[in-house]
Structure 1
Amino acid sequence: MTYTTTTEQLRSVEIDFYEHELYAGQKLIARITYDHADFVTQRWVVMVNGEEVFRAVAQMKCYDYVKWHYKQGTLPVQQEEIPAAITGNEMMAQIALGCESLGYKLLDDGIYHNNVRLVEIVYRDGTPCFVQTLAHQPEAPSSSIDLLDKPFDELTADEWRLLLEYEPEQEFLAA
């Protein structure tokens, strides 16, 4: 029986506390994740090609498993992930959905809110390749009464102060 051994050091990259990627050089060989499901006693899982190959009660036991099987040549080979290609149209569709959910309008030359251009989109060879934010000063309302129509979450600190000082005119009508 022939064993393939390696002296290559494995490197663990922590994505977050519950997910780690293990590399041999620059090549991803396995992932260690945490299973949050109820009634699971061995929560740490070794994943290769999206499939579970080992479980343990501690993250370090999973690391040791990967290290040992990688050195023996018995760890399944991680296939290279093919990045999803996004076309310019798909990207603009995603931006349009985001704008719509925020109440903004996406037009050919930029993103607008209340007829004010917030973002300029620059095209190169027909594809959107650069988005530039525009610096603009919001128009000051002509009076405190105008602020009553503005959504509360859009008021600035100065506008709140104006509202605090606002006293409505009282007109009494005789019946």
Structure 2
Amino acid sequence: MRRLLAVSLTTLALAGCVGPPQAPEAPPAPVIRPTPRPVPVPPPAPLASDWNDWPFTQGDWVYRRDARGSIALFGAGGGDAAMTLRCDRARAALYLSVRGPATPVTVRTTTINRVIPLQPTGGDAGYAATMLGPNDLLLDAMAFSRGRFVVERAGDVPLVVPPYAEIGRVIEDCRG
């Protein structure tokens, strides 16, 4: 019995020797990664000295008729026209609109170069326009320019546009 008592006391003594519970390990510190730097967009390649060699602006022409007359829109699609030519039949006028501020643009065609002042359109935020008479020679120059015509604004990438049939259709709609 002494032996049993000795074993029991030893077991109890050993059970009391267990240390206090350890605090759980702290979670690892978050790894802070540096913010990736934006990849710089390379500047556009310099344009050739002759505007007839400049690459076309991305986009295509679309022709539409509506209650006011007709409109030719040039751009990437999805309602994102970079430029429009509208015939307002009631006013017998054509409106050349360009996306951007109301600062002058230079229109270059094979036969005519002209600086055109633009005014805010009021209705379409982000566009500026000018009114042209239906017999303005610039319109024919745009429609019949060889291969392309250009609309330039200081500080902007020029619009290099093909003279597709949509332009001529809008002009003819206003001439009757």
TM-score by length of 2: 0.27
Q: Which has the higher helix share?
A: 1
TM-score (norm 1): 0.27
